[in-house]
Amino acid sequence: MRAFYAFPLVAACAVAASSCGDGATDPSLQAVTLASVLPGHAALRSKLRQILEEKNGGLGFEMWATILDRNGLVVDVVFSGVNRGDQWPGSRVISAQKANTANAFSLAGFALSTANLYAAVQPGGSLFGLQESNPVNPVVAYAGPASAYGSTSDPMIGRRIGGINVFGGGLALYTTTGNLIGGIGLSGDTACTDHIIAWKLRHSLNLDNVPAGPAPSNTDNLIFAVGDIDGFEHPRCFDLTGNGNHVNIINNLPTTNPVGPGE
C-alpha cells in the first residue's frame, strides 16, 4: 500500500494587494505567499525560454505558462516567444485551466497532475464529467485588451480563472517544506511535451517537493497507457524528428529532474 504523508496546508494570495476571499479567515490558507517564492515575471519567462532550448519531444513550439495560488487566484502569466502571437492564442487559457486543475485536485499529502486525470474522465470512467464540473470564468479569461496577455498586467492576474483540463501540462506546487501552495500549467505543444516543460519549470522553481502520487516513482508524473486505460494513464503523443522521444524523456523525469526539497 502506498504511504501518504500529511503536510500542513499553506496557501497564498496572488498579490499583496489582492484579497484571499474565503481563505482570508481560514488559518490553513495563510502564512506563505506564492509570490514571495517565485522569481519575477521576466525571470520566470527567462527560465521557460531556457528550458525550451532543450530536447523536449513534441513539436518544438512556443509556450504559455500560468501559475496560480492555492485559492485559485492567478499569480503570473508568461509566454516564451518574442511576440504574443508566436504561440497558440488559445493556449493561454488552457495553461490557466491546467494550473487550476492540478491545484484543485491535489492535496497536502498526494499530488495529481492533469495527465493523471485523463483516463478517469473518459466515457465510462469513474470521474466522467469532471471536466465540466468547474467551468472557466469567461469574464476573467477574456477581460481587458489582448495586448496585455502574458504581461505583468495580464487581466487574469489576481482573479480566479477556474476550468478543468485533463491533458498533460498541469502540476501542483509544493514548497521545500512540503506546503502545497498552488499549481502551474503549460500549454502550446503536444500534451506530453506540455507535461515535460511543466515538470522542468516546476523543478527549476524548486517547488516540486511532491509528497506522493500515483506514478510508479510515487510522484505525479505522467503514466503512459499500456493496453486498456483504466487508472491514471495518459495516451502517448507524437514527436518531430530530432526533438527527442517524449516517452523516454517523461519516464526519466524523476531521475533527470527529481522531485524533493532543493537547496
pLDDT in tens, 106-155: 999 999 999 999 988 888 888 888 888 889 999 999 999 999 999 999 99
Distances (CA, A) of 76 to 124, 159, 166: 36, 11, 21
Q: What angle do CA 149, 49, 251 make, to 5 degrees?
A: 115
This prediction has a pTM of: 0.87
pLDDT digits (tens, 9 = 90+) for 230-259: 689 999 999 998 899 999 999 999 999 999
List, in order of start, the domains of the chain with CATH numbers.
21-256 (3.30.450.150)
Which helix (H) or strand (E) segment is 104 a member of? Answer: helix 91-104
